[in-house]
């Protein structure tokens, strides 16, 4: 199988796959400053919660490489400021602030600016490398839910280009392919930016995995008439009670899956769980440029002088979620209890059942 990398660190700059150009062109944009990374995250050059977090970590590396002060207190203050700046690029995906906080935490105890700079680069590299293993483990746990010949339905893109490798929701498909199993996918197009059509379908076809593309509005008909083993989606933030923010349209899909008794799963690393947020109503929902709805390929397709509402995410309540597939197992209800239980350092390798 051939995997394409969404991020490549090159020692003094970062290369980001411009996902806006897919599937027609595979173009990498050179990032040499933290401002480049902020713009790329905001403009969806890089997207997918884990990939955003990795990019932000390298954004702090780029800033640190250009920082001229040798005064520790000054460097620390500016590092915090730059971290807040990066975190403002997209408000919903918690992996962004998680990676930034992790970089700050490991570097703040060090005695010199030089050692802090070394620690920032080392931790960014570790975050990048860890994500590949995390996604592989998510895929292994997810694959236990499926059997040869199954079909899953997925929404948006939670594949390899949204992470370091394998993806989250798509990881079971990639691992099935590696293990000689035949598991196919139905992908929604994912309006308004078409991540399913442009990215998920492209990624799976490129990997030799059977994929069928449908419009978002076809999901109910497909779940009613086709034999779908499960709906598996990714996540941008999971609240402490299991409520999950994901690409707009996920909430409706979860309700439809429940109506037709198709199990609905969320696949995400533990870093996507935000224990500071008690429930989904407290998750900030990003609203994006109205042109994503009113225009297509630069041409206006909607009537003039109308109001536009363009939330990028919605929140699926935990009672609609059959399980949350993480790198350490599948979390099941009661989520508020089991999410905390799974996060304990001495209990990392067991599946938590209801």
**Cβ neighbours, 10 Å, residue 344:** 8
- Joined together, the tokens standing for residue 299 give 């041409």
User: Using CA atoms, how far apart are residues 163 and 143, in angstroms rounded to an integer?
Assistant: 18
- Joined together, the tokens standing for residue 313 give 């995410």
* Helices 72-87, 113-143: crossing angle, 10 deg rounding: 30
Annotated catalytic residue 243 = no
Write the DSSP string, 32-52.
-SHHHHHHHHHTTSS-SHHHH
Q: Which of 18, 36, 216, 236 is catalytic?
A: 236
SS3 (DSSP) at 331: strand
Strand pairing of 329-331 and 323-326? antiparallel
**332: cis peptide before it, omega within 30°?**
no
Residue 49 near residue 37 (C-beta atoms within 8 A): no
SS3 (DSSP) at 309: coil
Catalytic amino acids?
A: 236
């Amino acid at each position: 199988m051939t995997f394409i990398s969404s991020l490549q660190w090159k020692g003094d700059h970062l290369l980001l796959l411009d996902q806006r150009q897919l599937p027609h062109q595979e173009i990498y944009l050179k990032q040499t400053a933290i401002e480049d990374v902020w713009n790329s995250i905001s403009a969806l050059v890089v997207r997918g919660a884990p990939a955003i977090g990795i990019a932000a970590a390298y954004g702090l590396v780029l800033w640190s490489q250009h920082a001229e002060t040798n005064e520790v207190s000054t460097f620390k203050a500016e590092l915090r400021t730059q971290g807040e700046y990066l975190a403002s690029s997209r408000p919903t995906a918690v992996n962004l602030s998680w990676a930034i906080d992790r970089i700050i935490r490991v570097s703040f105890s060090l005695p010199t600016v030089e050692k802090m700079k070394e620690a920032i680069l080392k931790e960014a590299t570790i975050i990048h490398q860890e994500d590949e293993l995390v996604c592989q483990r998510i895929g292994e746990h997810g694959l236990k839910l499926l059997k040869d010949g199954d079909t899953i339905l997925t929404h948006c893109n939670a594949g390899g280009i949204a992470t370091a490798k394998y993806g989250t929701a798509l990881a079971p498909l990639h691992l099935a392919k590696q293990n000689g199993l035949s598991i196919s996918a139905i992908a929604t197009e994912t309006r308004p930016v078409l991540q399913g059509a442009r990215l998920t379908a492209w990624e799976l076809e490129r990997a030799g995995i059977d994929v069928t593309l449908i419009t978002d509005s076809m999901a109910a008909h497909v779940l009613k008439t086709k034999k779908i083993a499960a709906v598996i989606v990714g996540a941008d933030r999971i609240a402490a009670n299991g409520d999950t923010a994901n690409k707009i349209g996920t909430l409706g899909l979860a309700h439809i899956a429940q109506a037709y008794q198709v199990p609905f799963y969320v696949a995400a690393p533990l870093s996507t769980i935000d224990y500071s947020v008690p429930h989904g109503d407290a998750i900030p929902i990003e609203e994006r440029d109205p042109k994503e709805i009113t225009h297509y390929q630069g041409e206006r397709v909607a009537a003039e002088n109308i109001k536009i509402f363009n939330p990028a995410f919605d929140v699926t309540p935990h009672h609609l979620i059959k399980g949350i597939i993480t790198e350490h197992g599948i979390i099941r209800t009661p989520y508020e209890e089991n999410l905390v239980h799974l996060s304990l350092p001495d209990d990392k390798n067991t599946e938590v059942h209801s």
